[in-house]
A and B are shown apart, each in its own frame.
Chain A
Amino acid sequence: MAQTQSGAAGLQSMPALLERNAREFGGKPAYREKEFGIWQCWTWAEAEKEIEALALGLINLGVNEGDFVAIIGRNRPYLYWSMVAAQSVGAVPVPLYQDANAEEMAYVLQHCGARFVIAGDQEQVDKVIEVQDQLQQFEHLIYLDPRGLRKYDHHTLHEYSHVQNQGRAAYDEWITDLKERRAKLTYDSTCVMLYTSGTTGKPKGVVLSNRNIIESAKNACEFDGLKRDDEILAYLPMAWVGDFIFSIGQAYWAGFCVNCPESAETMMTDLREIGPSYYFAPPRVFENQLTNVMIRMEDAGKLKRNMFHHFMAHAKKVGPAILDGKPVGLMDKLKYALGNVLVYGPLKDTLGFGNVRVGYTAGEAIGPEIFEFYRSLGINLKQLYGQTEASVFITVQPDGEVRADTVGVPAPDVEIKIDDNGKIFYRSPGVFVEYYNNPDSTADTKDAEGWVDTGDAGFFEEGSGHLRIIDRAKDVGKMADGSMFAPKYVENKLKFYPDILEAVLFGNGKDRCVAFINIDLTAVGNWAERNNVAYASYQELAGHPRVLETISEHVATVNQSVAEDPMLSGCQIHRFVILHKELDADDGEMTRTRKVRRVIVEDKFKEIIEAMYDGSAEISTTTEVTYEDGRKGSISATLSIMDPIVTAGVVQRVAAE
């Protein structure tokens, strides 16, 4: 069955693809990492050797087939090799979010019963050691960067390079075992287990088979014509399904090069140096970049600033049409070409997007203006809609049919159906095997025919056949008067403003909506600097009257635009507060992929919400915060509750009468 599919006989696992790549184009770069200021490079042939040495070392340490090997750290070639080495010996790699705290880590390690952990550095090692007493099955810890770890007890702690050296030394003893184990891998073997971030409840381990990953990777490579010569920058969390598909699945299938930045802080410089041709980022990254560009243009000289605004206005008008190959007047074309020389080209180069052939954004809806900005520069940015359970791809936007408000057409080999309530279901070769050790959840999500419930509500647009997502089906509710409550829709409108980093809307079952807002410290901080507003902390800036006033204006504008939509005019924001702290994953308010956990936020700040509904002008509150090292503290603040202008929702009144 598996063999009849296009996965091609013999290429049914990552190690098999690695072997093919090393054989067919072993001299081409497979991995690069910037270290000590220089891009270090490994060819496919070299990567194969490194992975083999590690795999032998893992067997030598006692890794058995079916064991779980947890991998924690930032994107580094060595950790990608760890995943493939684990697969080679028949074990299952489980990448974890590196910024997870020890408690969260303990839950996942305990849940999968990992016997081995491969950690990037001392920080990760410390977290694992802190919780290792709670882990019954945990045995060995392998670390990559020896810094600060010399004095640790090395009975169960091993340096990565030593494991490799031991593997090389034990080549004769274990190579036949390794070959046998590799040969046993089929399309149905588990490729990887990824924990979903979980906006509600505990993380679930999504088991993805080789078929899931390879078929999805192959389809997507063909869809976008990805080839050996493509370059990507691997900077998104390794525990996220997207990174696994791009940096392992597609990289191994198409044979392109994975580049790892020097550190998280140097990412922008490294992006520019590499100039990837295939690029992926969640909307937040694009938002931040746009905010930075705008801030820097505000600080630039008058000539540059005027030139920027003039040509950007032109790009907005004709850029997307030119990108889509639609007819555009000759004068407009010429002016765009001039703008390309003066503004767009240099800007793209500075952003590191000079070579981008295919760019994707996913994970959340992107503000239409942000999306248009990048497209107008001539960057082929597209949207896709996906899930861990689908091995990413559910729908994608084909070239030339890109729009801000849809997520595209079903990806190759994906079937989609929408039930009477608007809920979206899909079925594809990428559909996950199961939730590990959780048959109930598996049955809830996936039915016997293989249809998976996305939990999102949406509809196919007539004419174009594109899918439009309304919101998480769970989050969509009804206001007291029966009109629709769709928080995401309003929040995304708010988040388009560079000043607003995050927004959370409440109002399900109530007569009107209220909202929490987080300001963007970079953007508002820069504004404060230019306007001589002194502040000492986020909290102080967030409470500044002029900031409150500006945000109030933004909210009023959003209200106006929400009011234009007859279905949603009830979702206007009647009152809001700017929160005294940023919502943070360490406090459980967001997932590690930075999605708001609505229920937790609602519960944690319920007194503030109550105050907004009972008409108080301000509210004093104390909130517990968790520092990065796990210690707790608290922040007290008195927040002013603002009453922005609400536009009369004419249509809604009529409906109510």
Chain B
Amino acid sequence: MLDQSDSYVTEDGRTIGGVVMEMQNITLRFGGVVAIQDISFDIREGEIRAIIGPNGAGKSSMLNVISGFYIPQEGKVLFRGKERPPMRPYEVAQQGIARTFQNIALFEGMSVLDNVMTGRLNYMKTNMFQQAIWKGKAEKEETENREVVEKIIDFLEIQAIRKTPVSRLPYGLKKRVELARALAAEPKLLLLDEPMAGMNVEEKEDMSRFILDVNDEFGTTIALIEHDMGVVMDLSDRVVVMDYGKKIGDGTPDEVRNNQDVIDAYLGVSHD
């Protein structure tokens, strides 16, 4: 077994570092409903970590715990070895965590460029009045942040829709814009909630490539939830499998694929 601080090199030459985030015995309840029950796992620096499971398994709740949106009743969330206190969303963002949503949450009336620019808000220090006058500091600040945003636009190949209002885009592209906005925050840890849901094969392949490229190019740690087993197995370094709020498997895609509990949860068990 690897230690907390150990690092290793994957087959395709990426370096996976020590543990950045650790979930210790997390239990999350909504009234009488137990969404997550006593789950522990960790996320290592630079890896792609997937959380999978059938509908209602508690995946999205888990992601919300990681992002700090839900505070579990029991258990601890350790971020870089320290227990994380309850935080406001902007504090989470300042820690270097960004996310995308299962149901797209973009500003529909704004252009792609403006949407992605909102991802840079944490890096902008000027106030509203300075920005209204715009000369001087605010102008310089916008130029600097625009440069970062343009690199992301280039990276995700959405130059052609830079000025297009989001409401006019097809679903697959909106997903990509959401990823762009999350990347604009230059996150250390990127949380993706069903990045491939509702996409056709081609769009899934594109998205997979972007996720791999993001991980490879920026060294971003990625935690993602996904339904599509094929995609998950191809993309991730390690997989956590959940079913009815419990963890039933954890390991490399191969290990998980051969785990009897996982097979039962996905294929069903006969009752004889």
Contact = CB atoms under 8 A, between A and B. Distances in A.
Interface string A142-171: 000001101100000000000000000000
Given A36-B150, A37-B150, A148-B216, A265 B12 contact: no
B14 interface: yes
Given A35-B154, A36-B150, A37-B150, A151 B216 contact: yes
B180 to A, nearest CB: 13
Interface in B182-209: 209
A266 interface: yes
B126 interface: no
A289 interface: no
Contact of A37 (B12, B13, B162): B162
Q: Which of B154, B157, B209, B212 has the most CB of A within 10 A?
A: B154
B260 interface: no
B8 to A, nearest CB: 15
A36 B216 contact: no
B175 to A, nearest CB: 18
A37 B111 CA distance: 14
Nearest to A152: B13
A36 B13 CA distance: 29
A269 interface: yes
Interface string B211-224: 01100110000000
Interface in B208-244: 209, 212-213, 216-217
A147 B215 CA distance: 12
B182 to A, nearest CB: 19
Contact of A265 (B155, B159, B216): B159
B84 interface: no
A215 interface: no
B151 interface: yes
B153 interface: yes
B244 to A, nearest CB: 37
B267 interface: no
Nearest to B155: A147
A-side binding surface: helix, strand, loop or mixed? loop
B13 A151 contact: yes
Given A36-B150, A37-B150, A263 B157 contact: yes
B-side binding surface: helix, strand, loop or mixed? helix
A151 B212 CA distance: 12
Nearest to B152: A36
B12 A36 contact: no
B160 A265 contact: yes
Contacts of B154: 35-36
B14 A36 contact: no
Contacts of B150: 36-38
B213 A36 contact: no
A262 interface: yes
Interface string A120-157: 00000000000000000000000000011011000000
B147 interface: yes
A263 B156 CA distance: 12
Contacts, number: 35
Contacts of A262: 159
A543 B112 CA distance: 36
B159 A37 contact: yes
Interface size bucket, B side? 10 to 19
B153 to A, nearest CB: 7
A74 B145 CA distance: 28
B153 A266 contact: no
A36 B155 contact: no
Contacts of B160: 263, 265-266, 269
A151 to B, nearest CB: 4
Q: Which of A37, A38, A147 has the most CB of B within 10 A?
A: A37
Given A35-B154, A36-B154, A266 B216 contact: no
B14 A263 contact: no
A266 B160 CA distance: 5
Contacts of A150: 216-217
A147 B159 contact: no
A149 B74 CA distance: 44
Contacts of B159: 37, 262-263, 265-266
A151 B213 contact: no
A423 B192 CA distance: 64
Contacts of A147: 155, 213, 217
A84 to B, nearest CB: 26
Contacts of A263: 157, 159-160
Contacts of A148: 209, 212-213, 216-217
A36 B147 contact: yes
Contacts of B146: 37
A148 B153 CA distance: 16
A150 B15 CA distance: 13
Interface in B49-100: none
Nearest to A153: B13
21 contacts: A35-B154, A36-B147, A36-B153, A37-B150, A37-B162, A38-B150, A147-B155, A147-B213, A147-B217, A148-B212, A148-B216, A148-B217, A150-B217, A151-B12, A151-B13, A151-B14, A151-B216, A263-B157, A263-B159, A265-B160, A269-B160
The 5 A-B residue pairs with the shortest CB-CB distance, nearest first, are A265-B160, A36-B150, A151-B13, A37-B150, A266-B160
Given A37-B162, A266-B160, 18 more contacts: A35-B154, A36-B151, A36-B153, A36-B154, A37-B150, A37-B153, A37-B159, A147-B213, A147-B217, A148-B213, A148-B217, A150-B217, A151-B12, A151-B13, A151-B14, A151-B216, A265-B160, A266-B159
